[in-house]
Amino acid sequence: MRNRRLLFVAFILSCLITLFSFAPIELKKINFIVPKGWPQPAYSFTKFPLTEEGFQLGRKLFYDPVLSRDGSVSCASCHNQSTGFTHVDHAHSHGIEGRTGTRNTPALMNLAWNKLYMWDGAVNNIEVQALAPITNPIEMDETLEHVVKKLNSSRIYRHMFDDVFGDSVVTGQHLLLAITQFVVQLNSYNSKYDKHIRKEAGGKFTNEEEHGLQLFRQHCTSCHTEPLFTNNQFENNGLPIDNTIHDIGRMKVTQNPADSLKFKVPTLRNIQYSAPYMHDGRFTRLAQVVNHYTGGIVRSGNLSEKLAKPLVLTEDEKKDLIAFLMTLTDREFLLNLRYSFPKETK
């Protein structure tokens, strides 16, 4: 008799516990922060609002080599956090089986403010950007269909996708949206420069840095516009044509000869660590970059009009300019554990 009663109580109790654990999960909303004085982002968050669960799923995917055909390469293989999510020491990154690309891995940050992606603007929306490296034969050499199939065979992934999207069947759309949730949150706005602008502690410029900022605003800012340090345009910056790769840049996408040799103006944030520089990674030092603009420009037909007037800087001025560029380093971003390999998946 007592046993039966005990059983009954246990039954009721377990029912209650199960009911409780079945309660639907509320996704944790994330508010996208637009730093003070910055423009509104170009990307709209209304289609699929940011959530903590979405971010974590995207983060897991970003670091998972399952996206590549042979499981050897993840997004992070070429986009290394400590260098501003680019590939340090590699002018051209290598994909699976050591296949080498033709362009320098772009640094990833503040992507929601971009309109077009890749050096030639071939990608028109951040949500579909990941398709390019996944399917490129010299990068991950995979198909989206097959990645989706692999993810659907993983119970963990199916449950994570169900949690985020309310659908336990992984689709191409949901995969891309999840990666987007992660990459649009890789935002850098806490460099010494930012603190200087916001007049915060740690933002006091040295004389060299201050002078460098003035030089920068005088000569560089029409393309590398503050606060994002890019105008999001495509420009021919007068690099001599590389005869081995013959990269025509933006013209490949628009087929318009006026776009020949134009490449996207990259952000300069975290430039101290994102070497090498230029679309083909031809320069390894910032001094080489500055010297290009003061004495290396090839004046071809569609050279950016912003470079029409030759730039003359003394050696001291060059040093000050570089000193200023170093203030764009954001260690809080480069070392933020929230963006790093997801070890603590609890």
Q: Which residues bind another protein (CB under 8 A)?
A: 18, 21-25, 47, 64, 66, 71, 122-128, 131-132, 134-136, 143-145, 148, 150, 153-157, 159-160, 162-163, 166, 168, 171-174, 176-177, 180, 253-255, 345-346
CB of 139 to another protein, least distance (A): 10
Q: How far apart are CA 135 and CA 36, in angstroms?
A: 38
Beta strand 263-264 with 234-235 is: antiparallel
- CB closer to another protein out of 75 and 253: 253
- Cβ nearer to another protein, comparing 161 with 333: 161
- Give backbone dihedrals phi and psi of 94, rounded to 5 degrees, phi first: -110, 140
Name the residue nearer to another protein (CB basis): 5 or 155: 155
- The Cα–Cα gap between 293 and 127 comes to 34
CB of 157 vs another protein, minimal distance in Å: 7
The least distance separating another protein from the CB of residue 329, rounded to whole angstroms, comes to 31
Structural contact between residues 106 and 266, judged by C-beta atoms closer than 8 angstroms:
yes
Q: Are 187 and 330 in contact (CB under 8 A)?
A: no
Q: Least distance from C-beta 2 to another protein, angstroms?
A: 31
Of the two residues 131 and 197, which places its CB atom closer to another protein in the complex?
131
Nearer to another protein, 139 or 317 (CB): 139
Q: What burial class does residue 80 get, using C-beta atoms within 10 Å of its C-beta: 0-12 exposed, 13-18 middle, 19+ buried? A: buried
Count of helix runs (H) and strand runs (E) in the chain: 13, 2
The two tokens of residue 263 are 């490449």
Residue with tokens 């990608």: 123
**Closest distance of CB 130 from another protein, Å:** 9
CB closer to another protein, 136 vs 214: 136
d(CA 247, CA 104): 12
Residue 127 CB, shortest distance to another protein, in Å, is 3
Please say whether the beta carbons of 148 and 178 come within 8 A.
Answer: no
